[in-house]
Amino acid sequence: MMRSKLVAGNWKMHGSLAGNLSLLTAVRQGASDVGAEVAVCVPFPYLEQARSVLSGSKVGWGAQDVSQHAQGAYTGEVSAAMLVDFGCRYVIVGHSERRSYHGESDELVAAKTEAALAAGLTPIVCVGETLEEREANVTDAVVTRQLDAVLARVGAVGMARAVIAYEPVWAIGTGRTATPLQAQEVHALIRARIAQSDATVAAGVCILYGGSMKPNNAAELMSQPDIDGGLIGGASLLAADFLAIAAAG
């Protein structure tokens, strides 16, 4: 079956009102010429600006994290309903930097995925191994464990409304990139694991690659049978590079 292609930008902790305006405007204009779905995930303070600039275009927008709680005394947290208020369609869940710097467990990532789905958002659920784990040949076990926690929480029905992003931690912001074959092997593993719960859902789920995808390697990566797009970090801060990657999809 045909799967949607998605290229989503993760700005991380970058941006300013003035710089964003130029970047968002360029992405809005250029995205009309590409076939893939395009989205940007911006820091919380810039969600209203993203909505203002991107409304009415083909570019979706979203956030980089979400609370597992619907409301309450959780100072500093942002709920899924709040993101919906700002027109978000997407939210990144379980990014490696959240797992590493903030100690997010597989179970917490699963709870955040559930909260996002309950609010009608599309969670971009990140999984991936560190360099040490890859060198120890436990990539499959790590990715399976991370994915299974989400499947146990939301089931195949929930997974059908999610996007998965494979991000080899050793390839994020390092200039190193998994080879197309390395990336494809893990993407195929993810799809096969979901197929154990529901083959139809597995065939249709969108799986992104998120490890230093750039204009010069995007086409080769996205030509792999199980790579359906990219979760783009640094290159999403340059409109020309981001749009070139989107066009490659």
Question: Any alpha helices (H) in 55-105, and if so which ranges?
Answer: 80-85, 96-101
The vertex-223 CA angle with 58 and 121, nearest 5°, equals 40
d(CA 89, CA 73): 25
Torsion, CA 100, CA 208, CA 187, CA 142, rounded to 10: 10
What letter does residue 134 receive in the DSSP assignment?
Answer: H
Catalytic residue among 97, 114, 129, 167: 167
* Under 8 Å between Cβ of 197 and 151: yes
Instruction: Tell me whether residue 104 is one of the annotated catalytic residues.
Output: no
Catalytic residue among 95, 97, 129, 133: 95
Instruction: Tell me whether residue 95 is one of the annotated catalytic residues.
Output: yes
3-state class of 53 per DSSP? helix
d(CA 202, CA 229): 16
Task: Using DSSP bridges, classify how beta strands 90-93 and 59-63 pair: parallel, antiparallel or unpaired.
Answer: parallel
Length of the chain: 249
d(CA 176, CA 81): 37
Q: Known catalytic residues?
A: 95, 167
